[in-house]
Amino acid sequence: MITVYLNKADFEYDIHSLVKAFYAGEDVKVFADREKIQKLQKEQFLLFHMEIFYRRDRIEIFLYIPLRRDGVGQAVKDAEEMRREAEKESEHYMLQRQAVVKTDFSERKETKNQLKQCLYQLLSEYTGTSLPWGTLTGIRPVKIPTLMLEQGKEEAEIKTYMTETYLASEQKIDLSIEIAKREMELLRQIDYQNGYSLYVGIPFCPSICSYCSFSSSPIGAWEERVDDYLTALEREIDFTADACRDRKLNAVYIGGGTPTTLSSSQLDRLLSKIKRSFNFSNLLEYTVEAGRPDSITREKLEVLRSYGISRISINPQTMKQETLDLIGRRHSVEQTLESFSLAREMGFDNINMDLIVGLPEETPEDVKNTLEQVKMLAPDNLTVHSLAIKRAARLKMFPEDYKGMKMSNTWEIIDLTADYARKMGLVPYYLYRQKNMAGNFENVGYAKPGKAGLYNILIMEEVQNIAACGAGSISKRVYPDGRIERCENVKDVAQYIERIDEMVERKRALLFWGV
C-alpha cells in the first residue's frame, strides 16, 4: 500500500491517478486526514508514504520509506517532526526524496500541471522509469491536440506544448496528433447542432466475463422476461423517436451486453421497431455489437443483413482457449473463426474484432499468437483494450478465485498490437483510457480506410447528443457552450421494466428539446 497525506483536500484524484500510473499493482490511498492515514498504515504493509503540503507560494512533496522490522511496515511520524529529522534515519522512517515547486495558485489548471510535473519527476527519479504519457492520466488525451488543431496551431507547437506541459513521449504525442487529425476529418460529416446518435442497450450475455462491469445479466436467468424487456424498451423508443423527430439521426449503435443473445425473432422485433420509429435519411452508420461468437447464428445474421446493418463486432478478446475458459467466455476459438467466416460469407464488409491485453496468465507470446490468427481473418476494425478491472468485475470482487495468477501488460505488448494493426492495413482512429487501467495504458481503435466507427468517436469525444435507451444506458445532451448533462437509466433489468415510465420522464425532464 502507498499512502499520501495532504494538508488540504485538493487535487486528490490527480495525485491518486499519477501515483497509480507508476504503481499499478499497489493500493493507493490519498487523504487530508492524518488519523485515517495512520490507521491504514498500521493495518497494511506500507511500501512508502508521501506528504504533500500546499503553502502560500509553493507546494512541498516528501517521500518517506518506512523502516521495517520482520517485514512489517511501521507508521510514520508527524510531518513536522519528519522534516526536522529529514536528513537522518529515525526509528521508523527515512526520507528518500523531496521536491518543491513554486506557484501562486492563481490559475487552477496551471497549479495542477505544476503539481503533477513535480510529482512525476520525483516518482520518475525514485523508480528509475518514465511513463510514455507523462503526467497525462485523463481518459481523453486526444482532446488536447484536437483543441489546439481547431485553434489553428501547428503540429510543432502542439508537440512542444505536450512535451513541456505533460512530459509525454514523442511517440504518444505523434499518436495523439495522428488520431486527432483523423477524428476531425471523420467528424466533418456530423451535424453537431441538429444531429444526434441513438444507443440501444440489450443487457444480456451468454455468460458474464470475469473482467466485465457492464450492466449485463446471463441470458439463461432472463429468458422468460426478454419479451417484457423489449416491450418496455419499445415504450422508451417511442418517446425518444418523438422527442427527436426534428433532429437528424447520424448513427445507431445497438450494444450491451450482447444484442445477439436475443433470438432471431426477437432481433427482428427490435430492428423492425427501430426502423418504423426513426428517420434514417441522414444515417451514416448502423452498428450491432454481435460480440460473443457463441451467440451468432446464420438466422440472426440474416436478420441483421435484412435491416441494412452496416457494421458488426465479433469479439474474441483472445485466441487462447485456456484464457477464454478462465475468464468465463464460454465459447471456443473455433467458434470465433466460424462466426467470422460466416459473416464474411453473408456479405458483411465492416467487421470489428475486440482484443484485451493483460488478461490472466497471458504472455507476450500468447498475445502474438492471437494477433497472428486475427491477421489471417483480416478484420476491417480492430479495437485493442488494456485490461481495466473495475469494482463490479468478478476479478475485483472475488480476488481469491484468481490468487496467484499473473495479469501483466507492458508497453512492448502495446507496441506489438500497434505494429500488427498497421501490417493489417489498419490505422488508429480513436483512443481512450479507463479508470483502474493498470500501467496508464490505452485502448486504441484501428480501422481500414472508410471503415472507422463513427459512434465510437462520438461517444468518446462528447461532441454530439446521444439518445440512449435500455437498462443501464446513459443519454447525453451537449450544449453549444460545451456543457454536458446526463440522464441515466436504472441498471437492474426488473427495475427497468417496472419503472419504464419513470425512465421516460427522466428524459423528458433533462434531455430533449421541449418535449
Helix or strand or coil: residue 80? Answer: helix
Q: What is the pLDDT of residue 404?
A: 55
Q: What is the pLDDT of residue 332?
A: 93
Residues forming a β-bridge with 485: 477
Residue 512 and residue 466: Cα distance in Å, rounded? 10
Q: What is the pLDDT of residue 282?
A: 96
Q: What is the pLDDT of residue 211?
A: 58
Residue 284 and residue 197: Cα distance in Å, rounded? 10
Residue 356 and residue 388: Cα distance in Å, rounded? 9
**Radius of gyration of the chain, Cα coordinates, nearest whole angstrom:** 25
Read off the pTM.
0.88
Q: What is the pLDDT of residue 400?
A: 55
- Nearest residue to 135 (alpha-carbon basis) of 153, 154, 147, 122: 122
Give the helix/strand (H/E) hosting 110. helix 108-127
Q: How many CA atoms lie within 13 A of 164 on its CB side?
A: 7
Which residue, chain included where needed, has cell 423528458? 508
Which positions of the chain have pLDDT values less than 70?
Answer: 68-91, 208-217, 389-407, 435-439, 511-515
Q: What is the pLDDT of residue 475?
A: 95
Residue ranges of alpha helices (H) inside 244-310 are: 264-277, 298-306
DSSP code of residue 247: S
The cell for 58 is: 509553493
The cell for 247 is: 433532429
Q: What is the pLDDT of residue 257?
A: 87
For residues 432 and 383, the answer to whether their CB atoms sit within 8 Å is no
Q: What is the pLDDT of residue 309?
A: 96
- The one-letter code for the residue type at 19 is V
Q: What is the pLDDT of residue 437?
A: 62
The cell for 276 is: 418504423
DSSP code per residue over 115-159: HHHHHHHHHHHHHT---TTTT--SS-TTHHHHHHHHTT--HHHHH
β 248-256/195-202 pair status: parallel
Q: What is the pLDDT of residue 89?
A: 41
Residue 459 and residue 126: Cα distance in Å, rounded? 38
Q: What is the pLDDT of residue 396?
A: 47
